């Protein structure tokens, strides 16, 4: 039986690596599931894609749709057209999508319209913020998913609230944490580590790419100034996302303690995070990694789709007002930041659970079709 594993953007790669590893392990034991790795090309440069494949041991894609850059609508349409052509030429038995990027939604829609069942890894997470493209992707994907693999019990509850039957929901844990735990001993310092005279716990890491934080030059400049003041002159390592670079080029200057670097490969980036005094971010996935590594994390957002990183982990929502940053950092410097803990089932075995469940689901449906969407009774606004 053939499973399409969809990957298109940097957040996907950490999530598919352990799934592929678990599938290969089962194949060696006599399992019947096979996979076809489909790279949509949503992220297509080496820093955002190629380095991750190499470092995480992900095989070269069986298919690269090479959709490239464009607006969200252009990328969505391009992915759907090219993935549809692939499925018409050689259908798969399941489309497995991960996360909440454009590729996730586009391939789920395409597969479902061709009557190919969809499994969503990291299903059910919600921020409630419809201004985020990722939130729309999550909602659309979950509204047409057959089987839901969740990272937390709270995600289960989100799905149950909108009418998803509980026998379609499987709490398995977090495959991104599978990857982190599997690579802890392989993390390594980036090339600029010595050039910047960095030492453990004497610097901060910053990642920013949300439109509310980086798209407007004046407000972005104020935020960078607040970060420099709050971090008390310590080096602030800032791997620059392509979206953020566009605004940075328009700024006349920014504090000297903020060190701009290229987007980092997986092993180097997480080495920096693990050894940082703290992380300041507007990302979601990084808050999961800081939680597991026990690193204080300040999220410059008003909402999060990963509340467990706040209620259980080391993350706090600071909001987008720069004035709130310094008081939070003062608590960190005073040693008053919470210690945090690791959420349930974030133990490195999520992918093994997923493959075991897929074997049960798919082998059990070889002589009958997968559950129809009308059988699942999923509301349109799930």
Residue 378 has pLDDT above 50, yes or no: no
Residue 348 has pLDDT above 50, yes or no: yes
The reported pLDDT for the residue numbered 59 is 93
Give the bridge partners for 170, in sequence order.
Answer: 149
Residue 364 has pLDDT above 90, yes or no: no
Confidence of residue 336 (pLDDT cuts 50, 70, 90): very high
The reported pLDDT for the residue numbered 102 is 95
Which residues form the catalytic set? Answer: 209
Residue 376 has pLDDT above 50, yes or no: no
Confidence of residue 214 (pLDDT cuts 50, 70, 90): confident
CATH for 2-174+346-376 is: 3.40.50.2000
CA distances, 184 to each of 21, 56, 70, 168, 353 (Å): 17, 12, 35, 33, 21
Confidence of residue 371 (pLDDT cuts 50, 70, 90): low
Q: Yes or no: say if 164 and 120 are a contact pair by the CB < 8 Å rule.
A: no
Residue 377 has pLDDT above 80, yes or no: no
What's the per-residue H, E or C state across the chain?
Answer: CEEEEEECCHHHHHHHHHHHHHHHHHHHCCCCCEEEEEECCCCCCHHHHHHHHHHCCCCCCCEECCCCCCCHHHHHHHHHHHHHHHHHHCCCCEEEEECCCHHHHHHHHHHHHCCCCEEEECCCCCCCCCCCHHHHHHHHHHHCCCEEEECCHHHHHHHHHCCCCHHHEEECCCHHHHHHHHCHHHCCCCCCCCCCCCCCCCCEEEECCCHHHHCCHHHHHHHHHHHHHHCCCCCEEEECCHHHHHHHCCCCCCCCCEEEECCCCHHHHHHHHHHCCEEEECCCHHHHHHHHHCCCEEECCCCCCCCHHHHCCCEEECCCCHHHHHHHHHHHHCCCCCCCCCCCCCCCCHHHHHHHHHHHHHHCCCCCCCCCHHHHCCCCCC
What's the alpha-carbon Rg for the chain, to the nearest Å?
21
pLDDT in tens, 18-28: 999 999 999 99
Q: At residue 264, what are phi and psi to the nearest 5 degrees?
A: -100, 145
CATH for 191-333 is: 3.40.50.2000
Q: Please report, rounded to a whole number, the percentage of residues in the chain having pLDDT higher than 90.
A: 82
Q: How far apart, in Å, do the first and last CA atoms of the chain sit?
A: 29
In angstroms, the CA 294 to CA 288 distance is 10
Who wins on pLDDT, 9 or 291? 291
In angstroms, the CA 148 to CA 155 distance is 10
Range(s) within the chain of domains with CATH label 3.40.50.2000: 2-174+346-376, 191-333
The reported pLDDT for the residue numbered 189 is 98
Confidence of residue 48 (pLDDT cuts 50, 70, 90): low
Residue 312 has pLDDT above 60, yes or no: yes
pLDDT in tens, 154-184: 999 999 999 999 999 999 999 999 999 999 9
Residue 36 CA from chain centroid, whole number: 21
The reported pLDDT for the residue numbered 370 is 54
Pick from 333, 206, 345: nearest CA to 272:
206
The reported pLDDT for the residue numbered 382 is 41
pLDDT in tens, 217-227: 888 999 999 99
């Amino acid at each position: 039986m053939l499973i399409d594993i969809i990957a298109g953007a940097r957040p996907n790669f950490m999530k598919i690596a352990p799934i592929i590893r678990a599938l290969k392990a089962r194949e060696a034991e006599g399992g019947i599931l096979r996979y076809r790795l489909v790279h949509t090309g949503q992220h297509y440069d080496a820093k955002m894609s190629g380095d991750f494949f190499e470092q995480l041991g992900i095989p070269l894609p069986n298919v690269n749709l090479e959709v490239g850059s464009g607006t969200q609508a252009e990328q969505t349409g391009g992915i759907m057209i090219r993935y549809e052509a692939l499925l018409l030429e050689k259908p798969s038995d399941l489309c497995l999508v991960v996360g909440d990027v454009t590729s996730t939604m586009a391939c789920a829609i395409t597969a479902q319209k061709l009557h190919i069942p969809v499994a969503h890894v990291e299903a059910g997470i919600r921020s409630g913020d419809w201004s985020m493209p990722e939130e729309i992707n999550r909602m659309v994907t979950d509204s047409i998913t057959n089987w839901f693999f969740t990272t937390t019990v709270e995600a289960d509850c989100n799905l149950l609230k909108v009418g998803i039957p509980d026998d379609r929901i499987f709490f398995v844990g977090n495959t991104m944490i599978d990857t982190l735990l599997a690579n802890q001993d392989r993390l390594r310092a980036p090339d600029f580590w010595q050039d910047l005279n960095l030492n453990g716990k004497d610097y901060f890491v910053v990642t920013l790419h949300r439109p509310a934080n980086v798209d407007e030059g004046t407000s972005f400049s104020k935020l960078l100034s607040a970060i420099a003041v709050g971090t008390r002159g310590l080096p602030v390592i800032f791997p620059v996302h392509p979206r953020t670079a566009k605004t940075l080029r328009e700024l006349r200057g920014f504090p000297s303690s903020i060190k701009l670097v290229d987007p980092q490969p997986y092993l180097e980036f997480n080495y920096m995070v693990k050894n940082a005094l703290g992380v300041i971010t507007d990302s979601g996935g990084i808050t999961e990694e800081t939680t597991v590594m026990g690193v204080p994390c300040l999220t410059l957002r008003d909402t999060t789709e990963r509340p467990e990183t706040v209620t259980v982990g080391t993350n706090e929502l600071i909001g987008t007002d720069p004035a709130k940053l310094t008081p939070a950092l003062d608590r960190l410097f005073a040693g008053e930041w919470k210690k945090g803990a690791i959420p349930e089932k974030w133990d490195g075995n999520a992918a093994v659970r997923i493959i075991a469940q897929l074997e049960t689901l798919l082998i059990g449906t070889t002589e009958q079709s997968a559950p129809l969407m009308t059988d699942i009774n999923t509301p349109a606004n799930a």
